[in-house]
Structure 1
Amino acid sequence: MEKKRVVCLYRVSTKMQVDPTGDISMQEKACREFIAQRPDWEFLYDYSEKGISGFTKSVDEREILQKIKEDAYNKKFDVLLVFMFDRIGRREIETLLFVEELTKLGIEIWSAQEKEQLDLMNPEARLISFIKYWKAGSESSQTSMRVAEKHRQMTLEGLYRGGEPPYGYRLVDSGIVNKKGKLIKKLAINEKEVEVVKLIYDLALNYGMGGHRIAKYLNEHGIKPRKGDEWNSAVINYMLRNPIYKGHLTSGKTKRKGSKHRRVSPKEWVLSEKPLEELIIIPEDIWNQVQLVRNSRTPEKYRLDNLDYSQYPLQTKSPLLFTGFIYCGSCGSKLSTGYVKHEWTTKDGKTHKKSRNVYKCIRKTSGGTKCTGRSIYYPEMIEEPVMDEIYKYLDTLKDLDLSQEIDRISKQNLQSSEKRIKELKETIAKNEKYLAVLKEEVPKSILGESQFSPEILNESIRDTADKLEKAYKELEEAQKEYERYKLELDDIIKMQKTVPYWREELEKAPTEVKKMILSEIIDKVVVYSNKGEKNCSIEIELNIEIEAFLRLADGRNREPNDLHEQNILKRRNS
């Protein structure tokens, strides 16, 4: 009697299971023992998948399954033996279609552990097989999500998940006992550290300092961290992006990839649904503004796409007021901070040296691009005339009452956005209902009692799932847009309240703070050199929020283009 040719398939899902004495070896041993019990079988070779998930990887993405299919078409074996049927895959419909294709080629599929053949030739067996694979898929999904979902639910409900408390907080007894009889801890504000947290956020927002400069400031002023002798930028940066300080517990900041963890975009973090009032150290609007300031220095491709970073300077280290948003009118390049050295000798024969800061055209000084403008501009040529114009404008805005106009704008934008969100939620509900109907049809299709074949159902399920995914993304974008409208409206309202005090704040503020305030008012300063003259011409372009504010102030019938011309302030320095 001719023996049946047998090949074996082994698979483990994670790299941690890949070990000479681990799961692969165990599967191989069990399959070889099963073959030895059947004298009509002859072992040929095996296939092995290491670190491959049968749930996250589709059949088409798994090279080994494609190789098995190719060998089956070429009639290289008669029996495919697996340790358990779920080693083939954990995607119910997709895996069954793969198995059915092998079966039609005359291949027998057996499990060493379950000690039976997978028979898809009769409806009852097909249904039982579907239930097995559905269960395997569900278990895999649940296993991979169970811990994450538990953490997610705890976060959403505002429950602390354990670990060392963030700086600014301490652990106290919650009065709740868990299933193991252990008293659960909860977070509370640490009064000894809370002022340092507020200082860190103030330095970031009002002084434009980054993590390195804040750490240096704290160390120089003798402020000690909870652990160690000195602060470092990594700790400061983590604190500045942690939502806990606005009262939101957070999870999902990292995701496991193989044996390593990677940081996740803040867009994917799970935040508690409501802020915990007792944990708020930094008001939410202040926390959000700090994110804008910090992300304005982030490379463009890493920025969140729903935020406007244009109004903040890239840095505030320079002693010059407009570094970061001042441009050469001749070549368009930014003017950076430069230094000019002066040396002179007094009558007593002593040599004196002095250096001073100047605005420098990078392209002009590098010689790489033709620029007909000046190489340098002294601060007094630019800063005094620009500040004079800014003060004049601020003085004209002190007594404005725009509450009715603000209310009208908010209704237009917010109501339109709310309507879009409602429509998308209805679309999602409709597709979710349709997807549930399709999934209910699957067992009937397996039994041959449905007008739809498994292939058509699989395609329909995928198509509906794709539509759902698209709708969810659009909903996320619409919700971001709604939040952006709210933020912009809050900015204009806050602007109206604070404009009367801007001049006073500007006049008394240190350079870092002055730069931050000016960056909210000015979009850019453009400087043109005048040929044959020692002076220059200056244009000041106000940022879009100020332009909108002035449009409201200047009259409701003025066209935006006219306003734009009005809001480029021109000043010749004599």
Structure 2
Amino acid sequence: EFRLVVMAGVAQDEVRKLSERLKFGFRQAIKNGHVLGNDKLWGYDKKDCVLTINEGEAQVVRRIFDLYANQQMGIRRISQVLYDEGFTSRKGNAFNVLTIRHILCNPKYKGWYCANKSQTVDYRSKRKIFMDESEWVMYPDPSIPAIVSEELWDRANALYKRRSKQMMSHQSGAEFHNRYPYSGKIICEEHGTSFHRQLLKSAKGEKEAWQCRVYRDKGRAACSAPQLRTTELNQIMADIFSQLAQNKQAIIDAVVTVLQSVPDEHDYAQDIRRIEEDLSAIQAKKDRLLEMSIEGVITTVEFKQRNDGFNQQIQALEERLEALRAEAEKGQRTAAQLEEIRAALERELSFQNGIHSALVTTILDKIVVKKNSTKEEIHLDIHLKFGGPWEAAFNRMDSSLCFIRPKNITPKVPIKKT
């Protein structure tokens, strides 16, 4: 048994040494002007670790950066525009959203080297962790030909980070606010897929609409469901809320009950797990630093300086971890928060300032676009988070023809003006 333990220790040490030799080889290759990494990087041809620009593909890269940074288009819209313009992936498909994101965020396109995006924290399992951007190693590399200018790349990435922060701030649908209240809540009955937001531009300005994902990806021949305008949906929801508001207290009580039953949707567990991984990675760095000090690779002064830096990072992460665990324990909204929501609902149910997106977010469960809907006449089943479903139908050719009622209930006057 002792022999097996010794052999295992020796094997592990050999794996570590091999890893160090490989890293040393990578560093030497980089110094010699050899470009490592993806051999199928879009926009480049790679031979013998040397990148050259593939002008046919580079045209797509420049178009992506132009559409994103200069024309302020979203990534999904860029994929559709490229496909419409005849630009496809190597397999002939529309560009994947992740592919476009990777192109936008890869510093090679501005002629920069980038490394240390991830590190192996366990030699045996080969488990990797992704490093924070502040720890990446980046610098201009003359061996990498730039496809776009540094100014354009920097502008595109500043916009990407800004949009990412905005998406994170609007991520929780249970919060009493939401930027796009119908996101993920409109369902195509024909395909069971969700509708995606789209901005339609005209001489009169921009209008927000929603399209089935199948229609958006493959066109009208693949899905007959009509696109819905946000203004139309808001009018329908306002009509439903107006009918419900005849018993205002009942709807307020119902909404508060829904909120009490739904915990805070912030994924504290994921944040805690990431911090624990970061702590594990820093501890691995400290262990390696100690080995380098023992082997005489670094001086005692350098060891102390870098070790103190690691300790400061650990202290900050542990404080953040403790705060996250405390937040996770709270779970439910406080009584004071619920009273604030009650007061806000009282104001919103007066509809003096139109319909508020927060009210839709809080009460609406989903909207099903029925199969028999056409571009001119649309039929919807509207499900709230309490009570039975509602049925809505309206004719775009004659805006006065519309009815909204609880499903399976026949009103005395089904047609009414909106």
> Aligning the two structures, in what range does the TM-score lie when normalised by the shorter sequence?
0.3 to 0.5
Q: Which of the pair has the greater relative contact order for Cα pairs under 8 Å at 6+ separation? A: 2
Scaled by the length of structure 1, what TM-score is found?
0.30
User: In terms of Rg, which structure is larger?
Assistant: 1
Scaled by the length of structure 2, what TM-score is found?
0.40
